[in-house]
Structure 1
Amino acid sequence: MTQPRADAVVIGAGAGGLCAAARLVHAGLRTIVVDDKDRIGGRASTEEIDGFKVNIGAIAIEFGGVFEETFHTVGAPLNIRAPEPASSFFIDGKLVDVGRGGWSLLLGQLTKQAARILEKFADARSGNLPDGRQSTEDWLKAYTSNATVHAIFRNLCAAIFACNANELPARAFLTYFTGKGAFKRFGFCPEGTIGVWNALASVIRRNGDIWLETPAVQIHSTNYRVEGVTIRRGGREIRIETDLVISNAGPKATLALGGEAAFPATYVQQVQRDLRPAANIVINIASREPLVGHPGIITFGKTRRLCNMANLTATCPELAPPGWHLYVAYAVPVPALGDFNSDADVALAFEDLREQFANFGQAKILSIRVMRDDWPAQRSCAGYDLPRETGIEGLWCVGDAVKQYGNGGTQACAETAKLVTDAILASRPRLPQPNRA
């Protein structure tokens, strides 16, 4: 049998993999995406439960930045509806909308030290940042001891980075909230998050393919140059010849697929030493009665594990059967970057939900997903990212373990795809664009 050949193979149909594949196809490269799951989207996909479109992980898509630019570049529609207002805080049973007043409005209501904290945010915007060793919690302790302020910062770290304030470098926190999008503008997809991935998949199939339920078995290389990928498809192992492989499976899985001996020792040491997978708990909730009226995402004050919750059907009623409300709540265990007791942390999250919402008892729990270990919320926490280069020519990583410093979410994954594909295409002769007619 003749071995198939592709210009590029992308391992993993998650956010980074699909964004990278769409960019390569748009540039004229024949690209094959393989994934061991039965649906695209990876840790940001969607499943149907009892007539509800339930998101597995990420639910909010940020406007602006590289993610939206990716869709415009490759010619894919981005069907996103923005809630209004988008973000509020839920503190002591009251909603605080900071859409107009921002940090100064929120902190000014809680602590006399608000001016000092805001001054440090201004310093960060001008480039005066901590050195990366100090945690967000310790950084904040220097300016306030207010318990509610500390709780809010913890829950912001948990919501964005899937970790606790004592685990996240203050430099990463401040970089995100002063230099990145910081989720000021975002929306939900009325088809579930998988809807945005379906749009990218349509682009990829113009000059490539997506093979689901097709795990990668081995990445082949010789003398630090990639030569192909063996996949398992239809009960058979097939080797695809290619000199370009992009892995969206994370550095740990990439190392296993290629074999440690094939990589430079320094890269193997980096993966083993520096990778910090971050965990969270995703609870999808259906309710006949509204739990909260806010149409976007609320971040909580003092809680045990709960950090935020999104009201999906206020903006996208198609996600639930008529007469139902659909919410997704996120909680982060303690610790989030180490071992924890899943059952105990889930129980604490439910204590929070019952405490925050007096009518929570009538709600229906659609799913509880603990994202950890080899299926984490973030493959490596912000501040602990690995390089996108692997030491093997033609083998790259994309995704949330190799993101730019201080970034997070699907936006960060899309950014890694752009950085990698830009580097690849800059080193290759310009290819003729495929005929779109």
Structure 2
Amino acid sequence: MAERYDVVVVGSGVGGMCAAALAVKKGYKTLVLESLDRVGGRYSTVEIDGYKCLTGACVIHYSGWVPWVFKEVGAPLELRDASEVYYNIKGQEFKVPLQNRVTALFDICNRLGGGEGKSKNIMGGMVKEVASKKLSGFFGKAVMDPKQTGGLTLREWLLQYTDNPVAHALFDSLSIGWVVAHSYEIPASEYFYFMSVMKGMNDIGLAPKGNKYNMEQLVKVVKSNGDVWLASPVTKILVSKGVVTGVVVRKEGGAEEEIACKAVISNVGPRKTVELSGEENYPEEYLRDMRVKLRPVPVTLVHVASEKPLVMPGGEHGMELVAGMRRVTAAVPLTNTCPELAPKGMHLIHYACSPPSTLVAMDPEEEIRMINKDLRDLHPDFDRYAKIISIEPKNIDDDLNEGRSWQAAPYQMPRETPVKNLWNVGDGVQSRGYTGTSGCAEGAKNVVEQLKKAVKPG
């Protein structure tokens, strides 16, 4: 056995690093093991030709749990406000106010659906004023009871009020962006619950030095009473008589070695955790729940370099939700807020693109073909001023796909596993209403609270 640790954290995503830093601050000697050569998982940075490209997640909520964790452990967190939101509908941009965003959404639908004046009737149907008031009222509720929405999907619920394709396209863009499932897939109650808990997109920030820089601040915290090993995949989680006892790791790709510990916190997802620790250590009920609940989500991430601003050309700090395209659902002009992420005078745009279904594997070649069409439809002069510098289809079996499951309560597993002193953090085990980076940090906080009750440091 090599050096012994109190806690081993498998994976260095937001959930793993937040858990590790919090554990260190509670006195636990902690080792983080990461298979990649960088920290951060989906919240990290890869440099390509001088551009700092994102590996997945774009933003941090100021009022969410990530800033709370950084403050709790004494780590600096660098963010710049990027709360402005636009809706892009068939190439037309509409600014959305910070307040009353749902009402604004339906005002836009009314205009595009055949309103007064010279507005283009690009879609049939119109949302009536009374319907807008009823719909926006749902977002003011603190808790959405599934019974109130009749068990309907978000799309089915919206159809009760309108069949306006513009409204449906916008709600689908919102849904895939925040709960990583289409409006025709996710229960309406879960979507509304998220909007009430997370406040939608009202308080988000981007990292001016890149996401990896922020995660490296947590690495410094961990190294005050532990270590972080990169390029060091865990090949097994050791279990004896139902209790975790350590891990087997290939440090920096070398020979396997055993690391003894009192507890393991896994940030590689429930499926991978079971694989590493052995199915024989889990009751069939747990395995059955895991097979049924977890729904890994495919996505394609695109970064475009441009000589001129393509998205939010006025320099606004925020993002666009894109409706009516084949695959593109969101666009973030990173350099509007953080010009440091690109060479001087150049622009960097991050696009999130979703296939028609999140329930099955996508065809990467078809996704790339559709995305290329979308980019040129959105930006007619694309080939003159811009180029794709990265396009990454991440399928359902990718370790860093859009998510290990739809980010809603019925599709999450418990963080505590049937193996004593083995917990999961990250997506796939998030609390109801919390998604993305904030959900990962909130889960890390809860796991470390459980750790304190179960294991003494030292």
Q: 2 CA distance for matches of 1:176 and 1:66?
A: 14
Tell me how many residue pairs correspond in the alignment: 428
Q: CA offsets per residue over residues 69-99 of structure 1, 9 Å max, x none?
A: 000000000001113x522212341222222
User: What does residue 49 of structure 1 align with?
Assistant: 48
Aligned to 1:418: 445
Relative to structure 2, which stretch is displaced further, 184-193 or 353-362? Answer: 353-362
Q: Is the deviation greater in 159-168 or in 74-83?
A: 159-168
Q: What is the one-letter code of the residue matched to 1:421?
A: V
1:366-395 Cα distance to aligned partner (Å, 9 max, x none): 101112223221111123111111101100
In the alignment, which residue of structure 2 is the partner of 1:307? 329
In the alignment, the residues of structure 2 paired with residue 197 and residue 409 of structure 1 have an alpha-carbon distance, to the nearest angstrom, of 15
Separation in 1, partners of 2:422, 2:77: 29
Q: Deviation digits for residues 311-370 of structure 1, max 9, x if unmatched?
A: 111111110001100110111111112122222122222222211222222211110111
Matched, 1:153 2:171: yes
Within-5 A mapping of 1:91-240: 91-92=89-90, 93-110=92-109, 111-112=127-128, 113-122=131-140, 124-125=141-142, 127-130=144-147, 133-234=151-252, 235-240=254-259
Asked if structure 2 preserves the Cα contact closer than 8 Å seen for 1:87 and 1:298, the reply is yes
Q: Which residue of 2 aligns with 1:408?
A: 435
Instruction: Indicate whether 1:368 and 2:372 are aligned.
Output: no
For each residue in 1:210-231, what CA deviation from the matched residue of structure 2 results, as whole angstroms up to 9, or x when unmatched?
Answer: 0011111111112211111111
Contact 1:246 1:396 in 2 (8 A): yes
Q: Give the alignment's Cα RMSD to 1 decimal.
A: 1.7
- Partners in 2 of 1:109 and 1:395 — Cα distance? 49
Change (3 A) 1:189 1:365: same
Q: For 2:57 and 2:144, locate their aligned partners in 1 and report how far apart those are by CA, in whole Å.
A: 30
- What is the CA-CA distance between 1:40 and the residue it aligns to? 0.5
Aligned to 1:22: 21
Is this contact kept in 2: 1:59–1:192, CA < 8 A? no
- 154-163 or 97-106: bigger deviation: 97-106
In the other structure, the counterpart of 1:257 is 276
SS in structure 2 at match of 1:283: strand
Q: In structure 2, what is the equivalent of residue 393 of structure 1?
A: 420
Superposed CA deviations along residues 39-76 of structure 1, whole A, max 9, x for unmatched, are 10112211110011111111211111211100000000
Matched, 1:9 2:31: no
Which letter maps to 1:69?
A: W
Q: Which TM-score applies when normalising by structure 2?
A: 0.90
CA contact (8 A) 1:250 1:398 kept: yes
Paired residues for 1:299-378 under 5 Å: 299-361=321-383, 362-372=385-395, 373-375=397-399, 376-378=401-403
Amino acid at match of 2:181: C
1:435 maps to what in 2? none
Letter in 1 for 2:88: F
- Please, which moves more after superposition, 263-272 or 73-82? 263-272
Q: Is the 8 A contact 2:298 2:361 kept in 1?
A: no
Name the SS of the counterpart of 1:43 in structure 2.
coil
Query: Alpha carbons of 1:205 and 1:260: their partners in 2 closer, same or farther (altered >3 Å)?
Result: same
Shift of 1:161: 2.5
Q: Distance in 2 between matches of 1:301 and 1:264?
A: 44
Displacement of 1:242 in angstroms is 1.1
Partner-residue secondary structure (3-state), 2:218: helix
Who is 2:121 aligned against? none
TM-score, normalised with respect to structure 1: 0.94
Residue-by-residue CA offset, 1:175-207 (whole Å, 9 max, x unaligned): 111222323111111111111101111111111
The answer to which of 200-209 and 158-167 deviates more is: 158-167
Which range moved further: 69-78 or 417-426? 417-426
Distance of aligned partners of 1:291 and 1:320 in 2 relative to their CA distance in 1, 3 Å threshold: same
- Contact conserved, 1:283 with 1:368, CA < 8 A, in 2? yes
8 Å Cα contact 2:138-2:192 kept in structure 1: no
One-letter amino acid of the structure 2 residue matched with residue 391 of structure 1: P
The whole-number CA distance in structure 2 between the counterparts of 1:268 and 1:358 is 49
Q: Secondary structure at the match of 2:75?
A: coil
Residue 294 (structure 2) aligns with: 275
Out of 397, 407, 411, which is 1:382 matched to?
Answer: 407
**Residues 67-78 of structure 1: matches in 2 within 5 Å?**
67-78=66-77
- Once the two structures are TM-superposed, the CA of residue 132 in structure 1 deviates from its matched residue by 8.4
- How many angstroms apart in 1 are the aligned matches of 2:21 and 2:201? 24
Structure 2, unaligned runs of 5 or more? 110-126
Aligned to 2:79: 80
Instruction: Give the letter aligned to residue 218 of structure 1.
Output: K
Amino acid aligned to 1:8? V
Equivalent pair of 1:399/1:413 in contact (CA under 8 Å): yes
Unaligned stretches of 5+ residues in structure 1: 433-437
String of CA shifts for 1:122-146, please: whole Å, max 9, x gaps. Answer: 4x43544447842211121112111
Q: 1:55 to 1:411 in 2, by over 3 A?
A: same
Cα distance, 1:428–1:229 mapped onto 2, change above 3 Å:
closer
Code of the aligned partner of 2:321: T
Question: SS in structure 2 opposite 1:37?
Answer: coil
Partner of 2:116: none
Residue type matched to 1:90 in 2?
Answer: N
Q: Is the 8 A contact 2:180 2:407 kept in 1?
A: no
Q: Please give the alpha-carbon distance, in whole angstroms, between the structure 2 residues aligned to 1:100 and 1:406.
A: 20
Contact 1:88 1:99 in 2 (8 A): no
Does residue 290 (structure 1) correspond to residue 290 (structure 2)? The answer is no
The verdict on how the C-alpha distance between 1:222 and 1:428 changes in structure 2, with shifts beyond 3 A counting, is closer
Q: 2:421, 2:454 within 8 Å by CA — same for their partners in 1?
A: no
2:245 and 2:435 mapped to 1: Cα distance? 32
